[in-house]
């Protein structure tokens, strides 16, 4: 009796959706079919991977189970549908040519760090890809940054210019090879090549360019290196002079720089690395991870002045692996741009824009289609949280707990991202940057067009911030003039909605949104907000009291102006005089930056008049500005040269008070002391009064209490007021879920203390995981809210 007679043929048509292209999924399916003696085919479409198999019923059942259970590590399966039908009678199993489908879209894999198999080849002198900086396979390498269209095939990538040699083609055509249909597949004979040129574009070396670049780096030179999503500026991180030179040329006086090290072992020599941080560092995403900096590290303190945390990443491309091994020292790796500009992408563009910064350029001839910065992450309470979502995370979507329409959220002014929704997905873009110049606006517009094309989205609704002067808002209004429906969304409502979407929550929550600035529904500047919110609406239940920002943006850039404005308003002129006398008398205090004790009479008089006459002194309820004011009051940071600097250095002073006795490989513990504060109810809204807090801080200064101790007490006070406000709101509403969002919650000390208190009070607390808590999440919240707009 024949096998067919014993086991009648069954047939199944299978559709697999998710990130299943460019991740070795089709060869995996091929091998699985061969293993189970199945016949049929598999191919990519613009929407999914389609499979048809024929064979024994039990074999098809096992095939279906292993299809999901043993999928390639980079695959993210969202949905599998199976339809049974009569057998056709296939003779074998084959991988068929991809088919494009009009109007259909497919999830796209982000770029992936070099896998162990490719790294082994790269470092093996007997391998044909030894030291080849573009080694990759279906498990690693460039993806989204080289894709121009879907389906994901070589002719629709920037690799289409490189014809594979016979050996590479044989790998590409072999379904059992890990390079089967690896679209960027290449080798030294047929693939992209590296060159070293000077900052005038003159060729220095094209045969051993990486080795020579490493020598230049060891000599203290600055080298611009073309990576996956753009150029990075590199220098020896242990060479203080080189770091200072890079800062001066890049016009980045003190904002922290990232460092790349050759190995995990080296990372541990420079930082305390928790198990969760190790997992992040060595993940396929390979982000910059912010970790506690070891005192004995050889990395210059100029890399991250006044900070306890250092951002470290491991090599994520073959070029990086070679360069770091050749150089033998940690390298600063920072975005190839002048401050506030988009990262440079193309060779000619980089030479034009970066020739005043870099001495040499390590370039190559594989084009980058989409600009991408490095992602930044941290670990808090055992959970990874993104600070900047870019390379290796975007464009993987956030899965929504509802079916969405085709909506565009345009995002905020700072740390801009945009978001497109469709079906159950929110496609949050990579970090675009601060929308303060035309170059960034062009990057924003071109990336929206790319996402719309690749994911087949044609927005019908456009959501935007309430602030009329944001470039992203102006862009939305231009779309509105063409007939699209516009939905204005309050900034902090968007923050909370994004946290809900991040966690798949659909119920109403108490939303705590702490950040620097966001236009409020009443026209004032908000930023210390307690909302009752869901996707559809919000109600303001509490906030910090309104205080003036004398000079508007000038107060943001010069926090001592904020401190003076707060003291004048809350404690009067006598209170200001007493505070200034205290600062000038206490222990011969020498502030590192301008503090209120050093401000001249003329400027103080100007600030007084601005407040009294309400001239360019907008009212503000911002928690971020309160952190600034306390930082300036303590003389920690009176003027800033990067966003959030005063608050960050206040947090670092708190750590200085705790670090000696409490830092270890297990993290940081916290003291419990806090200042008093009061709350009053103004109609249905509770307001946190800050007079008692400010008076107590000045009293501590007068008594000679250290800055670090005051900083710890202040952090604890903010956590206490957050917990108390949430408890009062919960008593009235019965809501026991709290969502935390806003850039202030990047402060680990505050976040940990606040979550601990809330949980001890019986709240379920939601924090961000997949998207940043800063303004990089706002576009997601906008898009989600607009989906529920009437």
Please write the tens of the pLDDT for every residue from 9-27.
899 999 998 888 778 888 8
Is the distance from CB of 53 to CB of 38 less than 8 angstroms? yes
Classify burial at 379, counting beta carbons within 10 Å of its beta carbon; exposed 0-12, middle 13-18, buried 19 or more: buried
Residue 443 CA, chain-centre distance (Å), reads 17
Instruction: Say whether pLDDT at 660 is over 80.
Output: no
d(CA 573, CA 575): 5
d(CA 544, CA 720): 13
User: How confident is the model over 698-719, as a mean pLDDT?
Assistant: 94
d(CA 485, CA 350): 39
Alpha-carbon distance values, 243 to 326, 397, 693 (Å): 20, 37, 40
**How many other C-beta atoms can be found within 10 angstroms of the C-beta atom of residue 615?**
12
Is the distance from CB of 372 to CB of 356 less than 8 angstroms? no
Token duo for residue 350: 């980089």
Among residues of the chain, what percentage have pLDDT more than 90?
A: 84
Give residues with Cβ within 8 angstroms of 509, minimum separation 6: 496, 500, 532, 533, 534, 735, 737, 738, 739, 766
Give, in degrees to the nearest 5, the angle at Cα 468 between 465 and 470: 70
Pairing of strands 76-85, 203-205: unpaired
d(CA 407, CA 485): 10
User: How confident is the model over 475-482, as a mean pLDDT?
Assistant: 95
d(CA 790, CA 551): 38
Tell me the β-bridge partners of 681: 686
Instruction: Say whether pLDDT at 664 is over 70.
Output: no
pLDDT in tens, 770-783: 999 999 999 999 99
- Total residues belonging to the chain: 790
Instruction: Say whether pLDDT at 605 is over 90.
Output: yes
Q: What is the pLDDT of residue 4?
A: 42
Confidence of residue 584 (pLDDT cuts 50, 70, 90): confident
Pairing of strands 538-544, 685-689: parallel
pLDDT in tens, 339-374: 778 999 999 999 999 999 999 999 999 999 999 999
Taking all residues of the chain, what is their mean pLDDT, rounded to a whole number? 93
d(CA 583, CA 595): 9
Q: What is the pLDDT of residue 270?
A: 98
Confidence of residue 671 (pLDDT cuts 50, 70, 90): low
DSSP code of 99?
B
Residue 752 phi/psi, 5-degree rounding, is: -65, -45
Give, in degrees to the nearest 5, the angle at Cα 299 between 294 and 303: 105
Tell me the β-bridge partners of 486: 462
User: How confident is the model over 185-202, as a mean pLDDT?
Assistant: 98
Nearest to 67 by CA among 108, 18, 116, 118: 18
Q: What is the pLDDT of residue 627?
A: 98
**How many other C-beta atoms can be found within 10 angstroms of the C-beta atom of residue 126?**
6
**How many other C-beta atoms can be found within 10 angstroms of the C-beta atom of residue 387?**
22
Give, in degrees to the nearest 5, the angle at Cα 109 between 108 and 115: 165
Give, in degrees to the nearest 5, the angle at Cα 622 between 617 and 626: 90
The number of CA neighbours under 13 Å toward the Cβ of 282 is 14
Token duo for residue 55: 């064979």
Q: What is the pLDDT of residue 22?
A: 73
CA end-to-end span of the chain: 67
Nearest to 206 by CA among 357, 363, 315: 363
Q: Is residue 649 within a helix (H) or strand (E), and if so which, with residue range?
A: helix 645-662
Give residues with Cβ within 8 angstroms of 354, minimum separation 6: 199, 224, 231, 233, 336, 337, 344, 361
Classify burial at 689, counting beta carbons within 10 Å of its beta carbon; exposed 0-12, middle 13-18, buried 19 or more: middle
d(CA 558, CA 720): 28
Residue 637 CA, chain-centre distance (Å), reads 26
Is the distance from CB of 658 to CB of 706 less than 8 angstroms? no
d(CA 754, CA 740): 9
Q: What is the pLDDT of residue 164?
A: 98
Q: What is the pLDDT of residue 596?
A: 81
d(CA 186, CA 189): 8
Alpha-carbon distance values, 126 to 189, 207, 319, 587 (Å): 16, 19, 18, 67
Residue 497 phi/psi, 5-degree rounding, is: -60, -35
pLDDT in tens, 299-329: 999 999 999 999 999 999 999 999 999 999 9
Alpha-carbon distance values, 196 to 226, 242, 300, 401 (Å): 11, 19, 27, 49
User: How confident is the model over 629-647, as a mean pLDDT?
Assistant: 95
Residue 464 phi/psi, 5-degree rounding, is: -150, 165
User: How confident is the model over 381-399, as a mean pLDDT?
Assistant: 95
Is the distance from CB of 409 to CB of 782 less than 8 angstroms? yes
d(CA 64, CA 82): 9
Alpha-carbon distance values, 116 to 141, 206, 254, 423 (Å): 12, 27, 36, 36
Classify burial at 28, counting beta carbons within 10 Å of its beta carbon; exposed 0-12, middle 13-18, buried 19 or more: buried
d(CA 577, CA 599): 12
Instruction: Say whether pLDDT at 583 is over 90.
Output: no
Among residues of the chain, what percentage have pLDDT more than 70?
A: 96
Following DSSP, what letter does each residue of 120-160 receive, concatenated? HHHT-TTSTTTT-TT--BTTBB--GGGB-SSS--GGGBGGG
Q: What's the 3-state SS for 442-466?
A: HHHHHHHHHHHHHCCCCCCEEEEEC
Give residues with Cβ within 8 angstroms of 260, minimum separation 6: 234, 312, 313, 314, 315, 320, 324, 330, 331, 332, 333
Classify burial at 105, counting beta carbons within 10 Å of its beta carbon; exposed 0-12, middle 13-18, buried 19 or more: buried
Q: With both helix axes pointing from N to C terminus, report the angle between 623-633 and 691-702 in degrees, rounded to the nearest 10.
A: 20
Tokens 């917990």: give the residue. 723
Is the distance from CB of 702 to CB of 586 less than 8 angstroms? yes
The number of CA neighbours under 13 Å toward the Cβ of 136 is 27
User: How confident is the model over 597-607, as a mean pLDDT?
Assistant: 88
d(CA 385, CA 599): 39
Classify burial at 538, counting beta carbons within 10 Å of its beta carbon; exposed 0-12, middle 13-18, buried 19 or more: buried
d(CA 420, CA 459): 8
Is the distance from CB of 654 to CB of 551 less than 8 angstroms? no
Is the distance from CB of 263 to CB of 286 less than 8 angstroms? no
User: How confident is the model over 414-441, as a mean pLDDT?
Assistant: 95
> Model pTM greater than 0.95?
no
Question: What is the rounded radius of gyration, in angstroms, for the C-alpha atoms of the chain?
Answer: 28
Is the distance from CB of 185 to CB of 146 less than 8 angstroms? no
Is the distance from CB of 502 to CB of 476 less than 8 angstroms? no
Number of H helices, E strands in the chain: 23, 30
Q: Is residue 507 within a helix (H) or strand (E), and if so which, with residue range?
A: none
d(CA 618, CA 488): 21
């Amino acid at each position: 009796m024949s096998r067919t007679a014993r086991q009648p043929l069954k047939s199944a048509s299978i559709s697999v959706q998710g990130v299943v292209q460019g991740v070795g999924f089709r060869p995996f399916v091929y091998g699985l079919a061969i293993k189970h003696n199945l016949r049929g085919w598999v191919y990519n479409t613009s929407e999914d991977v389609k499979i048809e198999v024929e064979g024994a019923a039990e074999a098809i059942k096992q095939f279906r189970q292993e299809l999901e259970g043993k999928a390639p590590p980079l695959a993210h399966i969202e949905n599998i549908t199976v339809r049974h039908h009569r057998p056709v009678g296939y003779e074998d199993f084959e991988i068929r040519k991809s088919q494009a489908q009009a109007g259909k879209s497919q999830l796209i894999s982000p770029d992936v760090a070099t896998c162990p198999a490719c790294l082994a080849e790269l470092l093996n002198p007997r391998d044909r890809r030894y030291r080849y900086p573009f080694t990759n396979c279906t498990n690693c390498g460039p993806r989204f940054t080289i894709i121009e269209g879907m389906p994901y095939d070589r002719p629709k990538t920037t690799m289409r210019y490189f014809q594979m040699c016979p050996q590479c083609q044989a790998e590409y055509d072999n379904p059992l090879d890990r390079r089967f249909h690896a679209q960027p597949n290449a080798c030294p004979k047929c693939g992209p090549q590296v060159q070293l040129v000077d900052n005038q574009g003159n060729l220095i070396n094209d045969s051993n360019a990486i080795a020579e670049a490493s020598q230049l780096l060891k000599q203290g030179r600055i080298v611009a290196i073309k990576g996956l999503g753009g150029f990075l500026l590199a220098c020896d991180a242990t060479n203080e002079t080189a770091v200072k030179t890079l800062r001066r040329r890049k016009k980045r006086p003190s904002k922290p720089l990232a460092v790349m090290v050759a190995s995990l072992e080296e990372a541990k020599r420079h930082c305390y690395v928790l198990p969760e941080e190790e997992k992040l560092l060595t993940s396929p995403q390979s982000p910059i991870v912010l970790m506690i900096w070891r005192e004995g590290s050889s990395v210059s303190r100029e890399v991250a002045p006044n900070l306890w945390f250092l951002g470290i990443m491991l090599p994520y491309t073959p070029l990086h692996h070679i360069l770091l091994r050749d150089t033998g020292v940690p390298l600063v790796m920072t975005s190839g741009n002048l401050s506030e500009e988009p990262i440079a992408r193309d060779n000619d563009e980089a030479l034009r824009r970066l020739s005043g910064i870099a001495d040499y350029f390590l370039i190559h001839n594989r084009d980058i289609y989409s600009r991408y910065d490095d992602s930044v992450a941290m670990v808090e309470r055992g959970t990874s949280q993104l600070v900047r979502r870019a390379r290796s995370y975007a464009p993987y979507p956030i899965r929504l707990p509802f079916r969405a329409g085709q909506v565009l959220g345009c995002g905020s002014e700072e740390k801009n991202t945009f978001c497109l929704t469709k079906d159950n997905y929110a496609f949050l873009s990579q970090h675009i940057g601060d929308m303060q110049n035309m170059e960034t606006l062009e990057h924003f517009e071109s990336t929206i067009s790319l996402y719309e094309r690749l994911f087949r989205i044609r927005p019908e609704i456009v959501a935007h911030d309430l602030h009329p002067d944001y470039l992203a808002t102006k862009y939305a209004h231009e779309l509105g003039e063409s007939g699209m429906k516009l939905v204005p969304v309050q900034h902090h409502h968007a923050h909370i909605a994004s946290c809900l979407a991040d966690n798949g929550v659909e119920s109403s929550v108490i939303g705590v949104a702490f950040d620097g600035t966001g236009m409020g529904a009443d026209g004032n500047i908000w930023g210390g907000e307690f909302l009752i919110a869901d996707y559809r609406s919000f109600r303001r239940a509490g906030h910090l009291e309104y205080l003036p920002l004398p000079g508007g943006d000038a107060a943001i850039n010069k926090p001592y102006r904020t401190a003076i404005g707060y003291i004048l308003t809350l404690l009067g002129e006598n209170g200001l005089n007493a505070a200034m006398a205290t600062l000038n008398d206490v222990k011969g205090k020498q502030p590192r930056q301008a503090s209120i004790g050093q401000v001249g009479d003329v400027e103080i008089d100007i600030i007084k008049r601005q407040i009294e006459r309400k001239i360019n002194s907008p009212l503000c309820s911002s928690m971020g500005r309160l952190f600034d004011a306390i930082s300036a009051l303590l003389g920690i940071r009176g003027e800033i040269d990067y966003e959030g600097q005063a608050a960050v250095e206040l947090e670092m002073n708190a750590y200085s008070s705790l670090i000696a006795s409490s830092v270890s490989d297990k993290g940081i513990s916290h003291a419990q002391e806090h200042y008093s504060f009061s709350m009053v109810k103004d109609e249905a809204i509770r307001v946190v009064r800050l007079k008692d807090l400010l008076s107590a801080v000045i009293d501590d200064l007068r008594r000679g209490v250290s800055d670090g101790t005051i900083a710890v007490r202040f952090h604890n006070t903010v956590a206490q007021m957050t917990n108390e406000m949430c408890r009062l709101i919960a008593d009235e509403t019965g809501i026991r879920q709290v969502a935390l969002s806003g850039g202030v919650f990047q402060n680990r000390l505050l976040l940990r203390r606040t979550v601990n208190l809330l949980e001890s009070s019986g709240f379920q607390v939601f924090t961000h995981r997949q998207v940043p808590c800063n303004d990089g999440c706002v576009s997601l919240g906008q898009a989600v809210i607009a989906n529920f707009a009437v």
